[in-house]
Amino acid sequence: MSQPLVGIIMGSQSDLNVMSEAAEILEELKVPFELTIVSAHRTPKRMVNYAEKARSNGLKVIIAGAGGAAHLPGMVASMTSLPVIGVPVKSSNSIDGWDSILSILQMPAGVPVATVALNGAKNAGILAAQIVGSFNKEVAKTLDNYKNSLKMKVEESAKKIETQGWKGKIIGFKN
Amino acid sequence: MSQPLVGIIMGSQSDLNVMSEAAEILEELKVPFELTIVSAHRTPKRMVNYAEKARSNGLKVIIAGAGGAAHLPGMVASMTSLPVIGVPVKSSNSIDGWDSILSILQMPAGVPVATVALNGAKNAGILAAQIVGSFNKEVAKTLDNYKNSLKMKVEESAKKIETQGWKGKIIGFKN
Amino acid sequence: MSQPLVGIIMGSQSDLNVMSEAAEILEELKVPFELTIVSAHRTPKRMVNYAEKARSNGLKVIIAGAGGAAHLPGMVASMTSLPVIGVPVKSSNSIDGWDSILSILQMPAGVPVATVALNGAKNAGILAAQIVGSFNKEVAKTLDNYKNSLKMKVEESAKKIETQGWKGKIIGFKN
Amino acid sequence: MSQPLVGIIMGSQSDLNVMSEAAEILEELKVPFELTIVSAHRTPKRMVNYAEKARSNGLKVIIAGAGGAAHLPGMVASMTSLPVIGVPVKSSNSIDGWDSILSILQMPAGVPVATVALNGAKNAGILAAQIVGSFNKEVAKTLDNYKNSLKMKVEESAKKIETQGWKGKIIGFKN
Amino acid sequence: MSQPLVGIIMGSQSDLNVMSEAAEILEELKVPFELTIVSAHRTPKRMVNYAEKARSNGLKVIIAGAGGAAHLPGMVASMTSLPVIGVPVKSSNSIDGWDSILSILQMPAGVPVATVALNGAKNAGILAAQIVGSFNKEVAKTLDNYKNSLKMKVEESAKKIETQGWKGKIIGFKN
Amino acid sequence: MSQPLVGIIMGSQSDLNVMSEAAEILEELKVPFELTIVSAHRTPKRMVNYAEKARSNGLKVIIAGAGGAAHLPGMVASMTSLPVIGVPVKSSNSIDGWDSILSILQMPAGVPVATVALNGAKNAGILAAQIVGSFNKEVAKTLDNYKNSLKMKVEESAKKIETQGWKGKIIGFKN
Amino acid sequence: MSQPLVGIIMGSQSDLNVMSEAAEILEELKVPFELTIVSAHRTPKRMVNYAEKARSNGLKVIIAGAGGAAHLPGMVASMTSLPVIGVPVKSSNSIDGWDSILSILQMPAGVPVATVALNGAKNAGILAAQIVGSFNKEVAKTLDNYKNSLKMKVEESAKKIETQGWKGKIIGFKN
Amino acid sequence: MSQPLVGIIMGSQSDLNVMSEAAEILEELKVPFELTIVSAHRTPKRMVNYAEKARSNGLKVIIAGAGGAAHLPGMVASMTSLPVIGVPVKSSNSIDGWDSILSILQMPAGVPVATVALNGAKNAGILAAQIVGSFNKEVAKTLDNYKNSLKMKVEESAKKIETQGWKGKIIGFKN
């Protein structure tokens, strides 16, 4: 794989179930990435190091996922001027995800985090690709194709219902 | 001003109070932008037109702000593969901002919106600049300088408190 | 079946589990309808087309269901002056349904959506029939009979409890 | 004024500030209506009487507004098969409006209430007109004109900003 | 059983799982009661009748349980000046119980409902007994004995832990 | 005044603004009461003493109001078997009243508190009178008269609107 | 075991599942403790006794866990000036834990409770050890070792992912 | 002043209004402290430095206040094993304080923060004193006196009400 443009990090190995969706879609969209574990609360020095070297390491975007009092995305954003995408993870110790969402979203003026939906790692990957695609025509084209494939899947399932009726069991596509 | 790289849109003129902060910080960070009003619910065709032409018009990022059932950011994101930053606005008809936040943040898989804090238009502007700065060294440098100025303001006010004490009235800086 | 008076649409095939209850009750109440999939975020053009042709296609009411950041009901309402009934769906990517509810309910002045309870597709069907029934005596009569049948079921189960006691297992009716 | 087609009721005179917007827009849209006070909790018999006679009195739609534990819309809906539009009112004894919203929206299967946004009396009036307009071409046309006027106001304010800039004070239109 | 002093009603047979706990504790506390189903939304006339005759039928307290937009307790309270205890039921169509709680608790000035915890039918029964016990020494004594038995169960389980340790499996008592 | 039947207590003098409404309505309904300050957190011994002597002091009902983490109603209920009515007070240190409501309402099985609406001290007074009125015909009659006066006020304001129109300024009655 | 420095109490034996984690980590950190059951609502006198004797019994910190309307931590804090750590327990009768959190956290000025996360008994144990460790070098050293072990576990799992890839199944460590 | 035992830090000078209450009560309780500004997001290095040197600088407890996505308390706790007290501040950019509370309270296992009520800086100061007082008899005695003064103020205001009545205006004491 060529030089990673996107860095995917998460606070704990238990976040990998959710966060691997970011990696999968980046593979599909052919945007090179790296993935590892960086804990704001258990490895703060490792986090400082990661954030400070991100730009010189060639990264263009960082995706950071965490649950509960999720400080990783915001703290990384405080130490780099690269765009940081935050993924609130509904971990076992989370209150229905509200804690993760609010502690990632509500950053103070000066230090933005681009927050996506709860457990929205797939969208984080697509957003990272869109950022790269703003300055890279090939990625932009891949994204347009992806967008088109989403449209076609909806049209296909609409056609099935319209012709076969809504009562029978319809073999669906993953939302 | 040179070719706009960032498009700032909002659902209603009443959002301008909040959204003008995005424009101000982009001016300060020297990233060219355009600003206008596009309502998802009152001018849906205008919105379709805006979104579809955004990339060919040279935009790299779109910032969209809206309140209440805020559909503008998500709908624009559905019609372009440029990165879209959503600003939840706490408008007069909003329930403490929760409606704006959730209807921007919780986009389905395939169509991300980079959501910032409630009324976080300033951060939306900085995030847009960071996206541009990932591929533009000059903007990156401006951002690093801006980050540094934030740090110095904190240090300055810390020094004031440490030397003059916390009881007197301290002439502050805007948060 | 005669000319459909009610159009049932939903954002994704995965919403069919919930939304089919609207179709079932309309069948029972003998109000002709059509049902298909229209995604605000994946097929925005298809949505524009559906909304704009709804009235000339003979529809009197549209029922639109969606989950998460649910933009379909509001966006359809922005492009037709037919009454639009919105069904918040508690999809897997929803935060306990709050996102779906608020992004459907909190529409700005000028563009109403008639929102029903979370997963309330059955009530959406009844409401659509009530709208038709306001101008159609036969449907009104069917609705009065339906209302009466609800009453009789409660009275029947009350009688069972009063005569057989509350401790034994009572064979219930679906709520 | 001709025979009222829409009945506007509210739980208390203190709701009139909010609910009069329903009356004003129905006047503008030329749909005849009546307006009075009916309290579910203080005049339950009056409410029963109002609901039961609504259809024979010629009403096609009922708009009911109430705050706090807002039972009026749902109770009226339990005693008529006319469509009932519920307006959650953020009264002084309400918890940020959540109580009003949930006690109107979350009706059980069989008894729908068409709920609009918090304090959304204007939208309740428009929705009532849309229901009438589904079966009355003149009202439908008035609604299309109204929709068009909303569009033109947005376009006008967009033009102002685009030509005069976003920094000066712009004389706005009411949202 | 002697003349019922407490009337237990619920909106639907599906509430019986929860509401039977009120009946069980009243049996245990030897306070005579009756139990039946009365739906505010499906049998409004039956509800009016029940509420109006409650006092002359010899009841001293009414316990009313309902889920979702729970109007039964408040509507009964509007038609009798007996104390009404409301039990918010977390039914399948409820949003985590918030709708049930708020639509029972937030009654307007003039018409109180004595609300207990979500699914708190047992406490509703105890509260009803306490009301009776304020004017009946025998019931008061039974309640004091019950209170004492709660205390003894806690002390017993505390003793077990203190002597046998907290690590082994302790055979508990129902909370 | 004769022997108090209702004891009104509150956690802090700052709650008196809200809690005095309970006293006023009890005066109006001619139910004798006493009123004082008892803090669960600052005078726990005083609270124990108050609760334990309440019944022998002749009280039939206790009304306890508190804000924030409101422990007074529940703790008093743990030490007497008299019915305790809890009034959640929206004090300055409260989070929109949610903390007060939940820490009063959600009592464990065995120890009920009859919770009324946020700041609902007036309803607490009425509820206390209703409890007394269940066993006292005179109070019951006063309550029926009070209920009737509420009805008449609504009818009067309805008549005003129906005859004088909804547009003029109407001299209202306190809700 | 030597003289207990930390007292762990909980409202009910059913809280032991959660609260035993506090005991386990204190064992691991070699801080002596005692553990028992004290119910604010069922054994108020036992609670008064426990709180008042805590300091003279040699305790330095009290950990109190409770669910629902959780009064135990705050009431104990009202009767001792030892630091009290409150653990909100998500018991079966809790509304997603919000009631437990708010009734522990939102204590009035003068009576603090050191609140930890929902079900955060492990952190309560660590916090108690940290308080002891502020004045005891040995405990402080044990804590630093513990902190280091957390860091090493993250680094180890990061290394696994970086070398073995994120796709295979990785044998994790408990979060 | 002697060697500070408590370090008070806050994210921004705008938090001083709230956080100065911690300083004031520590002065009153005669516990030496220091106070300055440390921003997690604008001066991350300063924060690392502060946290790492806290113990060797002689501090026994750290009080950290912050608003919105409040990362300061948790991040400091990740870099020291001293007890850290977190004060959620309801800053202007906060959503009713929920973001501040959840991002401080919901720390993952291993890194506790002792959270106090929203804006509860006074209680943070008292809690810090209680921690010191666990190992310092003089501070413990001062705390007992303080607790007693709270009790006497309540008793005094209770006496006023009992003798002068609840209707007149009573000159209160600050809650």
User: What confidence score (pLDDT) does residue A92 get?
Assistant: 86
Q: Is A96 on the interface with G (CB under 8 A)?
A: yes
Question: Is-contact E118 G99, C-beta < 8 A?
Answer: no
Q: Is H173 on the interface with F (CB under 8 A)?
A: yes
F in contact with A (at least 3 C-beta pairs within 8 A) = no
Say whether pLDDT at E19 is over 60: yes
User: What confidence score (pLDDT) does residue G1 get?
Assistant: 54
Cβ distance B175 to H23 less than 8 Å, yes or no, reads no
Q: What is the ipTM of this complex?
A: 0.95
The CA-atom distances, in angstroms, between C77 and each of B102, C135, D127, D140, D141 are 20, 22, 10, 14, 16
Q: Output the DSSP codes for F2-62.
A: ---SEEEEESSGGGHHHHHHHHHHHHHTT--EEEEE--TTT-HHHHHHHHHHTTTTT-SEE
| Residue in F13, F36, F46 closest to H172 by CB | F13
User: What confidence score (pLDDT) does residue D93 get?
Assistant: 80
CB atoms < 10 A from the CB of C3, how many? 9
Say whether pLDDT at F149 is over 50: yes
Exposed / middle / buried, residue D96 (Cβ in 10 Å: 0-12, 13-18, 19+)? middle
User: What confidence score (pLDDT) does residue C79 get?
Assistant: 97
Confidence of residue C100 (pLDDT cuts 50, 70, 90): very high
Q: What is the 8-class DSSP label of residue A92?
A: T
In the chain, the amino acid numbered H74 is: G
Q: Output the DSSP codes for D42-100.
A: T-HHHHHHHHHHTTTTT-SEEEEEEESS--HHHHHHHT--S-EEEEEE--TTSSTTHHH
User: What confidence score (pLDDT) does residue H47 get?
Assistant: 97
Number of C–D residue contacts, CB under 8 Å:
119
Round to whole Å and give the CA distance between H62 and H44: 17
Round to whole Å and give the CA distance between G47 and G11: 10
Say whether pLDDT at B34 is over 70: yes
User: What confidence score (pLDDT) does residue H168 get?
Assistant: 57
Most confident listed range (D1-5, E92-96, E150-154): E150-154
Average pLDDT over residues D56-85: 98
Round to whole Å and give the CA distance between A14 and A12: 5
What's the full length of chain G, in residues?
175
Say which residues have a Cβ less than 8 Å from residue G56's Cβ, sequence separation at least 6: none
Q: What percent of chain E has pLDDT over 70?
A: 95
Say whether pLDDT at B169 is over 60: no
Cβ distance E99 to D105 less than 8 Å, yes or no, reads yes
Round to whole Å and give the CA distance between H151 and F45: 10
Return the residue in D46, D102, D104, D111 with the most chain E beta carbons within 10 A, the one to mutate for interface testing: D102
- As a whole number, the mean pLDDT across chain F is 94
| Residue in H71, H79, H94 closest to A71 by CB | H71
Question: Is-contact B105 B74, C-beta < 8 A?
Answer: no
The answer, as to whether pTM is greater than 0.90, is yes
CB atoms < 10 A from the CB of C136, how many? 17
User: What confidence score (pLDDT) does residue H167 get?
Assistant: 84
pLDDT digits (tens, 9 = 90+) for C9-45: 999 999 999 999 999 999 999 999 999 999 999 999 9
pLDDT digits (tens, 9 = 90+) for B126-148: 999 999 999 999 999 999 999 99
Q: How far off is chain C from A162, nearest CA to CA, in Å?
A: 6
Kindly provide the residue ranges of all beta strands, DSSP E only, lying in B40-119, ordered along the sequence.
Answer: 61-67, 84-89, 114-115
Q: Is F71 on the interface with E (CB under 8 A)?
A: no
Say which residues have a Cβ less than 8 Å from residue A47's Cβ, sequence separation at least 6: A38, A39, A40, A72, A75, A76
User: What confidence score (pLDDT) does residue D168 get?
Assistant: 57
Report CA dihedral (H151, H152, H154, H155) to the nearest 10 degrees. Answer: 120
Say whether pLDDT at A172 is over 50: no
Closest alpha carbon to F110 in H94, E148, B60? E148
Q: Is C111 on the interface with D (CB under 8 A)?
A: yes
Return the residue in D29, D80, D81 with the most chain C beta carbons within 10 A, the one to mutate for interface testing: D81
User: What confidence score (pLDDT) does residue E174 get?
Assistant: 37
Rounded to a whole number of angstroms, the CA Rg of chain A reads 18
Average pLDDT over residues F86-97: 93
The CA-atom distances, in angstroms, between G155 and each of D126, E136, G160, G162, H74 are 60, 69, 9, 10, 20
User: What confidence score (pLDDT) does residue C171 get?
Assistant: 42
pLDDT digits (tens, 9 = 90+) for F104-138: 999 999 999 999 999 999 999 999 999 999 999 99
User: What confidence score (pLDDT) does residue C167 get?
Assistant: 83
Walk along chain G (175 residues) in steps of 10 and give the mean pLDDT of each run: 91 94 97 96 96 97 98 98 98 92 98 98 98 98 98 95 77 38
pLDDT digits (tens, 9 = 90+) for F3-48: 999 999 999 999 999 999 999 999 999 999 999 999 999 999 999 9
Cβ distance H161 to F13 less than 8 Å, yes or no, reads yes
Say whether pLDDT at B16 is over 60: yes
- As a whole number, the mean pLDDT across chain E is 94
Number of A–G residue contacts, CB under 8 Å:
53
DSSP 3-state of H138: helix
| Residue in H81, H118, H126 closest to G140 by CB | H81
pLDDT tens for chain H, 175 residues long, are 589 999 999 999 999 999 999 999 999 999 999 999 999 999 999 999 999 999 999 999 999 999 999 999 999 999 999 999 999 999 887 899 999 999 999 999 999 999 999 999 999 999 999 999 999 999 999 999 999 999 999 999 999 999 988 885 444 333 3
Q: What is the 8-class DSSP label of residue D13?
A: G
Q: Is H117 on the interface with B (CB under 8 A)?
A: no
Question: Is-contact H133 H6, C-beta < 8 A?
Answer: no
User: What confidence score (pLDDT) does residue A1 get?
Assistant: 54
Cβ distance E105 to F105 less than 8 Å, yes or no, reads yes
* Residues on chain A touching G161 (C-beta within 8 angstroms): 13, 16, 35-37
State CA A83 to chain mean position distance.
12
Average pLDDT over residues E33-55: 97
